[in-house]
Structure 1
Amino acid sequence: MATVLDDIIAGVREDLEARRSAFPLAAVREAAAARPAALDAFGALGGNEEPRRELKVIAEVKRRSPSKGELADIVDPAALAQQYADGGAAVISVLTEQRRFSGSLDDFDAVRSAVGTPLLRKDFTVDEYQIHEARAHGADLVLLIVAALDDAELKGFLDLTHELGMNALVETHTEEEIDRGIAAGARILGVNVRNLKTLDVDRAVFGRLADRIPAGPVVVAESGVRSPEDVAEYAALGANAVLVGEALVTHGSPRERIAAFQRSGAEAIAERLGAN
């Protein structure tokens, strides 16, 4: 049975071929090579710190989602991203998938021109073209979803990402996917608690999966963040960062919301480290 991810990827491949026809890979490679060096997203997420005492926020510019439909009418993504940056977001994520999330590379370009924060090009990577394309637009991270890739693709895409000076958020949903992500060399490992078949969210899944991750990678909790209490729960279970979209774009003061998430997460981390 096809999952929502399968349906999304089918559309991504069609849209990719249209862009490839307009901008061949050679041109995209040239544009990527001309960009300034990527920002250190791993460091921004606390990857070089030991122990990691702060809870980092990846704040997402997100108009809609397959599970919730329309979320926010984001007229000015650059202005929203500036609020995120002012609130202390370590990384800003911009959806560029068009069909299900109403995102675009135009949104990404607008945000890139507005902030100096590391940017995640949030899309469904199924071809090396998208990785060069992300760098050409100034991305510092790309998303690699383990469920969408075989082992050779995952390793090859991750290696290419690092060769281009970027990092990757390697997203997992199961114990097997965590093992595959670690084996491929993931430095930033996401645990998404959303079921790909039902789209249901179960935050309890995070603790079980996070226990399987060895020391080293930055651990990012994805999905299910609605409140500072949710952030504290993830932080207590080992999250170094949270990726948040809906709870920010639907909130009247995203800057203050990010600060609240950081405070609650740091308190939970301090308690966890103290207990150890």
Structure 2
Amino acid sequence: MKDILEEIIAHKRIEIAEQEKAVSIAFLEKQIEGSQPCRSLKQSLLASATGIIAEFKRRSPSKGWIKQAADASRIPAEYQQAGAAALSILTDETYFGGSLKDIRAARPTVVLPVLRKDFIISYYQLLQAKAVQADAVLLIAAALTPQECFTLARQAHELDLEVLQELHTEQELDYICDEVDVIGINNRDLGTFHTDATHSLSIAEKLPSGKVRISESGISQPDTIRLLHEAGFDGFLIGETFMKTPHPGETLYHFIQSAGL
């Protein structure tokens, strides 16, 4: 199967170059002067009874449109009211139908930490995240070299952004560094987009102690949450399970009740 991740990253490099022509690094650095301290994703997960990072997601490369007309000024607030620990907002436009405008729309309506979910490969994107008042960014091991990951994680911390480091294989454990605040195990192969919700369990025992850990993708049943919690996971990133329903916030609320969280 075609490697979707490789295609996305190639497109992302072109996209960032075009964005930098329109809005300079210097302009973004000026924009973030005096910005508010980040709301801690790590601490929110540790303090939460649910550990659920509820995701705002309009589409995916594998499923197409999930909720094309989704309102970023409404659904994240409904997630917060339903009991989410934090929010993830997709900002990739070409493949996921999102944009930085979605974080701008959601931010005044919520107090929870907001993760910018995107394919972060440059300092410029970190500045963008800070400018729209995101609190954390995703770094995907499969999209970066270890050195690129270390550099971006350090730069994120310098901008007062927390780092969610996403891994998929045991071989990627070397990407974890001191600046990583949360480790995420993605149950979706980013090359083929095949998902196995139990994939996190196969890596759980190999993760370093003392790091907050979450499981991402393919989680659709409350029983899976309980199983992952018993294996030591502090949080769970879930999007499509909620977004594909007419009322994502209500679906999250009932999911939490069913899971006994």
TM-score band, normalised by the shorter chain?
over 0.9
Match of 1:252 among 246, 254, 261: 246
Equivalent residue number for residue 87 of structure 1: 82
Kindly indicate whether residue 212 of structure 2 is the aligned counterpart of residue 225 of structure 1. no
- The answer on whether the counterparts of 1:33 and 1:136 sit within 8 Å (CA) in structure 2 is no
Q: Normalized against structure 2, the TM-score is what?
A: 0.93
Task: Give the drift of 1:2.
Answer: 6.3
Equivalent residue number for residue 36 of structure 1: 36
Query: Which deviations, in whole Å up to 9, do the C-alpha atoms of 1:119-147 show, x marking residues without a partner?
Result: 11111001111001100110100010011
Q: How many angstroms apart in 2 are the aligned matches of 1:108 and 1:230?
A: 29
Query: Which deviations, in whole Å up to 9, do the C-alpha atoms of 1:80-122 show, x marking residues without a partner?
Result: 1110110121111111101110111111110112212111111
Query: Which deviations, in whole Å up to 9, do the C-alpha atoms of 1:6-54 show, x marking residues without a partner?
Result: 11111111111111111110111111223211112211111xx6xxx83
Equivalent residue number for residue 196 of structure 2: 202
Q: How many angstroms apart in 2 are the aligned matches of 1:62 and 1:244?
A: 10
- The answer on whether the counterparts of 2:53 and 2:87 sit within 8 Å (CA) in structure 1 is yes
More helix by share: 1
1:176-215 alignment, distance < 5 Å: 176-181=171-176, 183=177, 185-215=179-209
Match of 1:136 among 125, 128, 131: 131
Q: How many angstroms apart in 2 are the aligned matches of 1:261 and 1:32?
A: 37
Q: How many residue pairs are counted as aligned between the two chains? A: 261
- The answer on whether the counterparts of 1:168 and 1:186 sit within 8 Å (CA) in structure 2 is yes
Equivalent residue number for residue 65 of structure 2: 70
Task: Give the drift of 1:266.
Answer: 5.9
Q: How many angstroms apart in 1 are the aligned matches of 2:256 and 2:229?
A: 10
Residues 155 and 2 (structure 1), Cα distance of their counterparts in 2 relative to 1, 3 Å cut: farther
Task: Give the drift of 1:233.
Answer: 2.6
Gapped runs of 5+ residues in structure 1? 268-276
- Look up the equivalent residue of 2:216 and give its one-letter code: E
Query: Which deviations, in whole Å up to 9, do the C-alpha atoms of 1:154-191 show, x marking residues without a partner?
Result: 1111111111111111100001212322x454220000
Gapped runs of 5+ residues in structure 2? none
- The answer on whether the counterparts of 1:175 and 1:209 sit within 8 Å (CA) in structure 2 is yes
1:18-29 alignment, distance < 5 Å: 18-29=18-29
- The answer on whether the counterparts of 1:231 and 1:264 sit within 8 Å (CA) in structure 2 is no
Q: How many angstroms apart in 2 are the aligned matches of 1:105 and 1:37?
A: 19
Match of 2:149 among 151, 154, 163: 154
Q: Normalized against structure 1, the TM-score is what?
A: 0.88
- Look up the equivalent residue of 2:17 and give its one-letter code: E
- The answer on whether the counterparts of 1:85 and 1:115 sit within 8 Å (CA) in structure 2 is yes
Residues 157 and 176 (structure 1), Cα distance of their counterparts in 2 relative to 1, 3 Å cut: same
Q: How many angstroms apart in 1 are the aligned matches of 2:210 and 2:255?
A: 23
SS of residue paired to 2:105: helix
Q: How many angstroms apart in 2 are the aligned matches of 1:242 and 1:106?
A: 25
Residues 264 and 237 (structure 1), Cα distance of their counterparts in 2 relative to 1, 3 Å cut: farther
Question: Cα RMSD (Å) of the superposition?
Answer: 1.9
- The answer on whether the counterparts of 2:87 and 2:112 sit within 8 Å (CA) in structure 1 is yes
- The answer on whether the counterparts of 2:163 and 2:179 sit within 8 Å (CA) in structure 1 is no
- The answer on whether the counterparts of 1:63 and 1:71 sit within 8 Å (CA) in structure 2 is yes
Match of 2:55 among 57, 60, 70: 60
- Look up the equivalent residue of 2:64 and give its one-letter code: G
SS of residue paired to 1:191: strand
SS of residue paired to 1:78: coil
Residues 176 and 266 (structure 1), Cα distance of their counterparts in 2 relative to 1, 3 Å cut: farther
Residues 262 and 213 (structure 1), Cα distance of their counterparts in 2 relative to 1, 3 Å cut: farther
Residues 231 and 264 (structure 1), Cα distance of their counterparts in 2 relative to 1, 3 Å cut: farther
